Amino acid sequence: MSFNYPKNEKLKSKISIGLLFSEGKSVSKYPLRLVYHSGSLVENEKIKMGVSVSKKYFKKAVDRNRFKRILRETYRLNKHILLDNLDKPYAFMFFYQTKERLSYEEINTKTIQLFEKFVAQNSKKESSEKGEQSSK
């Protein structure tokens, strides 16, 4: 398993980001939120991830950047949870949404729970969609 976060995995396209916010769905595990949209990527890319920390909660850029680094690191170490269970490409935006200054360990635990919740939610949808298609 490769625990890297290469440049081609970073969500930078304004079009993809706009699509995320207009048509994307969301899953939360306080204080983290994952907004996702499927099928908006190039064929050879399985996943695109962006991170965000609101200026509303952390006025100083130093603080925002610290939490963005932590979010990227927790994603990097736990992305296998997503990759092992995805069958189509997804774009994700990963948010930290609280004033509380949680430790790295707490954020890592919440990230794992959030990714597992996302996988559980989407595996149910995919199995129900497959069931509907087979009954037609």
Q: Report the distance separating Cα 31 and Cα 78, nearest Å.
A: 17
3 in any annotated domain: no
Give me the number of domains the chain comprises. Answer: 1
2 in any annotated domain: no
68 in any annotated domain: yes
How do residues 47-73 score in pLDDT, each as one tens digit? 899 999 999 999 999 999 999 999 999
CATH assignment of the domain containing 46: 3.30.230.10
34 in any annotated domain: yes
Mean pLDDT across the stretch 27-44?
Answer: 83
Q: Which domain holds residue 98?
A: 14-116
Amino acid at residue number 63: D
Q: Report the distance separating Cα 65 and Cα 73, nearest Å.
A: 12
How do residues 79-114 score in pLDDT, each as one tens digit? 999 988 888 888 999 999 999 999 999 999 999 999
Helix, coil or strand: residue 136:
coil
83 in any annotated domain: yes
The reported pTM is: 0.86
Q: Are 15 and 86 in contact (CB under 8 A)?
A: no
